[in-house]
């Protein structure tokens, strides 16, 4: 199975709050887990990515938490801002340069 | 350093027609992948090209075909268009053996 399941489908957060998006995968051969941010009319842009040899990676306000045994990973956006309002996709791939399998996306709205 | 550029940005075609979409990869990248993103869904992998040959394909019929040129630019061709082919088509470039893709802004194809 190559599926990646993402939740929630939509999320509304107040400015300054924490946004949390979760993903679960089935294929244990996946070894690269990126998160993409997509604004309307634009292509996905890489936000942050993690390999399964670490359980957490932080870049600025964005943190990925990874649970290999549960086959789950999540994106946390701290101090959420209205400019973070976008659609977020988790993805996974097996080996470098291989196809990405995307989750269904989460539409985030950060209210001022 | 230029990013991934795609043309045209929008296209309207009639069912049964053929269409060609174009992509220029990011400078230094030698691998091109194409993804189809239906409205409200995550991108789906179509195929990948490296050294002018297809080296990976998703669950898409043979009427979806592609080319990669010596300068690493690429084309996606779709024959016998169907209404369900209406989607955003994304091109992504990467370095063979490396992690991480750079996506273009896509071509919005509408089949009527």
Q: Give chain A's domains with CATH numbers.
A: 4-111 (2.60.40.10)
* Secondary structure (3-state) at A48: strand
Contact B95, B83 (CB under 8 A): no
Residue among A88, A81, A79 nearest A108 (CA): A88
| Res A103: pLDDT | 97
Contacts of B96 in chain A (CB under 8 A): 97
pLDDT in tens, A72-111: 999 999 999 999 999 999 999 987 678 899 999 999 999 9
Does B3 have pLDDT greater than 70? yes
CB contact under 8 A, B100 and A41: no
For chain B, the first-to-last Cα distance in angstroms comes to 37
Q: Does residue B97 have a pLDDT over 80?
A: no
- Residue B6 burial (CB count, 10 A): 21
A14-49 b/e (C-beta count within 10 Å ≥ 16 → b): eeeeebbbbbbbeeeebbbbbbbbbeeeebbeebbb
B81 touches B19 (CB < 8 A) = yes
Query: What value does the mean pLDDT take over residues B39-52?
Result: 94
Size of interface A-B (CB pairs under 8 A): 59
Asked whether residue B1 carries a pLDDT value surpassing 60, the answer given is no
Closest Cα in chain A, distance from residue B29 (Å): 11
For the cut 60, the answer to whether the pLDDT of residue B16 exceeds it is yes
Give dist(CA B112, CA B109) in Å, integer: 10
Torsion of CA A89, A93, A98, A101, to 10 degrees: -50
């Amino acid at each position: 199975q190559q599926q990646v399941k993402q939740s929630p489908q939509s999320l509304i957060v107040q400015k300054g709050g924490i946004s949390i998006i979760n993903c679960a995968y089935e294929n244990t051969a996946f070894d690269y887990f990126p998160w993409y941010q997509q604004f309307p009319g634009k292509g996905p842009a890489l936000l942050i990515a993690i390999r399964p040899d670490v359980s957490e990676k932080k870049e600025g306000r964005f943190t990925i938490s990874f649970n290999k045994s549960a086959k789950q990973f999540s994106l946390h956006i701290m101090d959420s801002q209205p400019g973070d309002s976008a659609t977020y996709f988790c993805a996974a791939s097996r080996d470098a340069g291989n196809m990405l399998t995307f989750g269904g996306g989460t539409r985030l709205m950060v209210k001022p | 350093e230029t990013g991934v550029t795609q043309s045209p940005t929008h296209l309207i075609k009639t069912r049964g027609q053929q269409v060609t979409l174009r992509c220029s990869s990011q400078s230094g990248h030698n691998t091109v992948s194409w993804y189809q993103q239906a409205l409200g869904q995550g991108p789906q992998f179509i195929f990948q090209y490296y050294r002018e040959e297809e080296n990976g394909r998703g669950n898409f019929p043979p009427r979806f075909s592609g080319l990669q040129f010596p300068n690493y630019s690429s084309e996606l061709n779709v024959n016998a268009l169907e209404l369900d082919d209406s989607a955003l088509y994304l091109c992504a470039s990467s370095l063979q053996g490396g992690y991480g893709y750079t996506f273009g802004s896509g071509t919005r194809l509408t089949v009527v």
